[in-house]
Homo-oligomer: A and B are copies of this chain.
Amino acid sequence: MSTSKPIAILGGTGDQGLGLALRFAAAGQRVVIGSRKSERALEAAEAVAKQVEGAQVEGRENAAATAGAEIVILSVPFEHTAGTLKSIRDALEPGQIVVSMGVPLATAVGDGPMRMVGVWQGSCAELVAGLVPEGVHTVSAFQNVSAHRLQTLSDPVDCDVVVSGPKQPRARISELCGLVPGLRAIDGGPLSNARIVESVTALLIGLNVRYKVPEGIGIRFTGLP
């Protein structure tokens, strides 16, 4: 049993959060699934434990999941980003890394998922960075990875993850990506680049529809050293 600090996945009951929970658990990481209701978090944790032998996984209410975690992944719909952060604010501590994977899709205002709404700060990730307490790091990652591919543990994910944010936390999240088969971290530079990465998700959603690929199209960068 690993005694390292866990990875909290808030909104881990949703498709993409659950996919990440499965992958990290399968990679031997301690995972705590967070949800607004602890019963739903427990259900999701049980689902992970059923699929991954020896999984170190728990389920808790969001703030309880956040307390003591090394990494806190925000896997909630964009419109719940600020509210979720407010609800966990007291549990956050300097040194923790909050990972923003939200995308300001226009579904937030009742429009379609192939379009976006503008965010004053530039991106969901920058919105997050403005709301976390001082000393908590914000990293942008995982926006372009399809939930279906994450959840299909038998197959490698086959997708690059652009990781943006301050250097050290970015390196830590990149390391985490490397634990998942077929996931490759790409050095996405400063957090402000999240606005580009987030918008790629809207493009991918459109591609999934036009090419009829429910399992989700991914991206790869070519020509890397």
A interface list, Cβ under 8 A from B: 114-115, 146, 149, 158-159, 162, 186-189, 192-193, 195-197, 199-200, 202-204, 206-207, 210-213, 215-225
Contact B223 A218, beta carbon cutoff 8 Å: yes
A219 nearest CB across to chain B (Å): 6
> Which single member of B192, B218, B223 contacts A222 (CB below 8 Å)?
B218
A149 to B222, CA, bound (A): 11
Query: When A220-B222, A221-B219 are in contact, do A203 and B211 touch as well, CB less than 8 Å?
Result: no
Besides A162-B203, A211-B225, A213-B225, 7 more A-B contacts (Cβ < 8 Å) are A158-B222, A187-B211, A193-B203, A195-B199, A218-B221, A218-B222, A220-B220
Identical copies of this chain, number: 2
The answer to whether A223 and B215 touch across the interface, beta carbons within 8 angstroms, is yes
A206 pairs with B193, CB closer than 8 A: yes
Residues of B within 8 A of A195 (CB): 199
